Structure 1
Amino acid sequence: MSSNFVKELAPQLVEWRRTLHKLPELGFLEYITTYRLGKELISMGFTLHVGKDALDSDARMGLPATEDINAHEEKAAKWGVDAEWLEKMRGGNTGLVAIWDTGKQGDHVGFRFDIDALPINESTDESHLPTKNNFISDEKNVMHACGHDGHATIGLGVAKFISENTDSLKGRFTLLFQPAEEGGRGARAMTAKGWLDDAHRFYSGHIGVKSMPVGTIAATTKGFLASTKFNISFKGVSSHAGMHPELGKNALLAATTAANNLYGIPRHNDGVTRVNVGKLTAGSGRNIIPEDSYMEIEVRGETQEVADYMAEKATRIIRAAADMHDVECIIDPVGITEVVVCDETLIPQIQEWCKNSELITEVLPEIQVSGSEDASFMINKVQEHGGKATYMLFGTKLDYPHHHPQFDYEEDVLGVAVDTFVSILRGGSSDV
């Protein structure tokens, strides 16, 4: 029955996905995306909490620059976002929470769908499906290169099923359309608002990650790493490189010294570690000693203890590099994720509930990954009070990896993911 619903919805899923893909927005700048999603959810009858009502503003991390926030608010207003909506989101308070209460006693079930894009310039190669079908990103250096356009679309599909089948469901459903997943910045702010404090079960997931056939899903994931993201600014003294090099304090050298030595942090006996210097900018000319430099880095660890070890070592190296070159440094933590441990008791339930789906061909008990996920805050919050939570994967062929200019996925995976959540809804929250 659920598969028939999804088959009929399939053209709408593709339309939603392509519309969202064409106008991507970075984390805490998803003004138009939030508005679009909200309007669809209102038409379905959901109770909405938008922007400042959906998250704890003080718990956000890694906010964009004020000038970028102001520019995107102006753009959203010109695009047509209602002033009332814009006021709720002002200052980078994007995202929304949609609530549906059946009025019948049952579990409180939460779902998370991330909505942000990445600072990547999308490929214009004719072999790239969005290029071929004219839904390539209209935004320079902004792209849905991780599938969050699909995640938001899946959320709308789940919402539509709930709204059209409420008579056969029981309990309460909370759908979190989360901003700023990239960089581990948004989930903590939504979690801190208390939406999941009494949730009995929580489900989230991701398109791809591992290349698998469409129709294959994983009920749980293992291997997500705890992570901390840092922005680092070095402040030195500019001088003429030929006439008075002794008066200069080279911020570029401090940054490169830090970058090289960060990769020398010893591995840890108790678990996997990762470090990456993702951005470094410095200097203004060949004969000018650089006064300023800026870095964006991240460290990760298999356990919280190992992640803390990496963060402590990284911080020490950065400060030592600043001291070595006699410059000042500011280390700003701008994102964080926690370790994820999915509830294995949900595996047989998900397998049972999905066994009659015409779209789901295989339910893997678990799959190993190695990234990080800020849904960890939501999962851990639910588990803290005895609830059950998991993070699933939805298979698709991946010709290019996530965060690549030609990243894309098979759009049939949208229906598979919706059918997975619908099967969970019917199996775990149904009166029939």
Structure 2
Amino acid sequence: MTPHPLLAAATELQPRTVALRRALHRHPEQGLLLPRTQAAVLAELADVPGLEVSTGRSCSSVVGVLTGARPGPTVLLRGDMDALPLPEDTGLPFASEVAGSMHACGHDAHVAMLASAARLLSARRDELAGRVVLMFQPGEEGHHGARTMIDDGVLDIAGRPVSALALHVSATVACGQVQVRPGPMMASTDTLRVTVTGRGGHASAPDQALDPVSAAAATIGALATMVGRRISVFDPAVVTVAHLWAGTTHNIIPETAHLEGTLRCLSEDTRALLREEVRRVCLHTAAAHGCTAEVVLEPGYPVTVNDPRVVATVQALARSLLGAGSAPPMENPVMGAEDFAYVLAQVPGAMAFLGASPPGVDPAHAAANHSNRVVFDEDVLASGVALLAGFALGELAPR
């Protein structure tokens, strides 16, 4: 079967796309300040005809604006750029050369796909009635980079976008398959930190102390019970305590115990209720054990909500470019979080997953995103390039 012309053009760019992806993979950077990554993106975009490029004031962002041959609205495409704090154990020939840092979530692929999409779109400016904003974003991994770029004016640099799209590769989705759904796509996230304070003493005489460890353990159980009793099963939430520490040795009851965890929701109403209930459970469970609790809830990303029209557009585009079976219905949202939610709160758009499971591996058993062993199939990069460019071309087709 003859490939779609846009996919064929993206495939011609594949060597360049892969080269950029691997260069970024070797030298990952974390957070909002990514000077080496920013320089690599600027160098890659320097010879793209008609592209106006600027950098951020508050972070190492890059924004490209491509103006079509005719006037019209603005469309935004995003690629996030930052890495994660973990060592790489993939054995790849282009593995990270930075100790304790790895592109374990595929953001290097996102940058490379967006840069090559810029080339495809530049070559087709006469087919664009409007402008394309290319949003190269640092700080997605917990640093609120999208919010920072919005504060820096990315949504106003070329007129408020009428639609937006971000693609995210996934190692546990079959290669080339597109997963996207209308409405809540990904969860909100908040961080829970609790310090339970009692009275220390000898472990042989717990009656003469106030044991914060027991209170902390009871709190974990009470939180799990609370979710099932206070939160509707039709608007789900997750509370996970993933970090617990207390004391210094086996025969001393410490004065304090500490909990850390995460809260995930699919609606802002349930998020508000969950925060209230978590605080109540922590305070009163500690009090029932004669202890006190200090509860800190650190707000994270909001719910990622996809626009139904944009979702339908992306699904139709995927089927056209990649085949009729490439965009099966996605029944359930993902309880992970995404700061593209900040963009989607202001612009109708979609976050979509692009399957990149490595060849010869069952996606269900592949090392997942954020694993120190995750591997992505680079063959899918051309599909991502074509999807990003095709979305902008469709949204800005002359009417």
TM-score under structure 2 normalisation? Answer: 0.80
Gaps of 5+ in 2: 358-362
- 8 Å CA contact 2:70–2:126 kept in 1: the answer is no
- 8 Å CA contact 1:220–1:393 kept in 2: the answer is no
Cα deviation 1:32-78 (Å, max 9, x = unaligned): 333432343345343213241xxxxxxxxxxxxxxxxxxxxxxxxxx
**Cα displacement (A) at 1:288:** 4.8
Looking at structure 2, the residues matched to 252 and 366 of structure 1 have their Cα atoms a distance apart, in angstroms, of 46
Looking at structure 2, the residues matched to 231 and 30 of structure 1 have their Cα atoms a distance apart, in angstroms, of 28
Cα 1:302–1:430, aligned 2, differ >3 Å: closer, same or farther?
Answer: closer
Q: Does 1:331 align with 2:304?
A: no
Looking at structure 2, the residues matched to 16 and 415 of structure 1 have their Cα atoms a distance apart, in angstroms, of 13
Q: Does 1:376 align with 2:341?
A: yes
- 8 Å CA contact 1:250–1:327 kept in 2: the answer is no
Looking at structure 1, the residues matched to 199 and 136 of structure 2 have their Cα atoms a distance apart, in angstroms, of 46
Looking at structure 2, the residues matched to 50 and 296 of structure 1 have their Cα atoms a distance apart, in angstroms, of 33
Cα deviation 1:79-101 (Å, max 9, x = unaligned): xxxxxxxxxxxxxx343333333
Equivalent of residue 160 in structure 1, options 95, 119, 129: 119
**Cα displacement (A) at 1:203:** 0.9
**Cα displacement (A) at 1:291:** 5.0
Q: Does 1:104 align with 2:70?
A: yes
Looking at structure 2, the residues matched to 105 and 260 of structure 1 have their Cα atoms a distance apart, in angstroms, of 59
Equivalent of residue 278 in structure 1, options 227, 242, 256: 242
Q: Which residue of 2 aligns with 1:395?
A: 355
Find the residue that maps to 2:120 and give its secondary structure: helix
Find the residue that maps to 2:260 and give its secondary structure: strand
Q: What is the root-mean-square deviation of aligned Cα atoms in Å?
A: 3.3
Cα 1:355–1:148, aligned 2, differ >3 Å: closer, same or farther?
Answer: same
Q: Does 1:343 align with 2:308?
A: yes
Looking at structure 1, the residues matched to 375 and 77 of structure 2 have their Cα atoms a distance apart, in angstroms, of 23
- 8 Å CA contact 2:117–2:385 kept in 1: the answer is yes
Cα 1:2–1:242, aligned 2, differ >3 Å: closer, same or farther?
Answer: closer
**Cα displacement (A) at 1:417:** 0.6
Q: Which residue of 2 aligns with 1:303?
A: 267
Cα 1:261–1:3, aligned 2, differ >3 Å: closer, same or farther?
Answer: same
Cα deviation 1:125-182 (Å, max 9, x = unaligned): xxx4xx1x32222344433222222112212122232344434433112122223333
Equivalent of residue 6 in structure 2, options 2, 6, 9: 2
Find the residue that maps to 1:171 and give its secondary structure: strand
- 8 Å CA contact 1:108–1:172 kept in 2: the answer is yes
Q: Which residue of 2 aligns with 1:78?
A: none
Equivalent of residue 316 in structure 1, options 246, 269, 280: 280
Q: Does 1:364 align with 2:331?
A: no
- 8 Å CA contact 2:34–2:82 kept in 1: the answer is yes
TM-score under structure 1 normalisation? Answer: 0.75
- 8 Å CA contact 2:87–2:102 kept in 1: the answer is yes
Gaps of 5+ in 1: 53-92, 384-388
**Cα displacement (A) at 1:427:** 2.9
Paired residue type of 2:355:
G
Paired residue type of 2:395:
G
Cα 1:31–1:345, aligned 2, differ >3 Å: closer, same or farther?
Answer: closer
**Cα displacement (A) at 1:319:** 2.8
**Cα displacement (A) at 1:210:** 5.2
Q: Which residue of 1 aligns with 2:185?
A: 224
Looking at structure 1, the residues matched to 107 and 339 of structure 2 have their Cα atoms a distance apart, in angstroms, of 14
Looking at structure 2, the residues matched to 390 and 167 of structure 1 have their Cα atoms a distance apart, in angstroms, of 26
Looking at structure 1, the residues matched to 276 and 140 of structure 2 have their Cα atoms a distance apart, in angstroms, of 24
Q: Does 1:200 align with 2:162?
A: yes
Find the residue that maps to 2:306 and give its secondary structure: coil
Looking at structure 2, the residues matched to 99 and 294 of structure 1 have their Cα atoms a distance apart, in angstroms, of 48
State how 1:169-248 maps to structure 2 within 5 Å: 169-183=128-142, 185-196=144-155, 198-208=160-170, 211-214=173-176, 216-218=177-179, 220=181, 223-234=184-195, 236=197, 241=202
Paired residue type of 2:339:
D
Looking at structure 1, the residues matched to 203 and 44 of structure 2 have their Cα atoms a distance apart, in angstroms, of 63
- 8 Å CA contact 1:220–1:344 kept in 2: the answer is no
Paired residue type of 1:48:
S
Cα 1:235–1:382, aligned 2, differ >3 Å: closer, same or farther?
Answer: same
Looking at structure 2, the residues matched to 355 and 169 of structure 1 have their Cα atoms a distance apart, in angstroms, of 22
Paired residue type of 2:110:
H
The count of corresponding residues between Structure 1 and Structure 2 is 377
Looking at structure 1, the residues matched to 319 and 186 of structure 2 have their Cα atoms a distance apart, in angstroms, of 31
Q: Which residue of 2 aligns with 1:404?
A: 371
Equivalent of residue 17 in structure 2, options 13, 17, 26: 13
Paired residue type of 1:179:
P
Cα 1:345–1:233, aligned 2, differ >3 Å: closer, same or farther?
Answer: closer
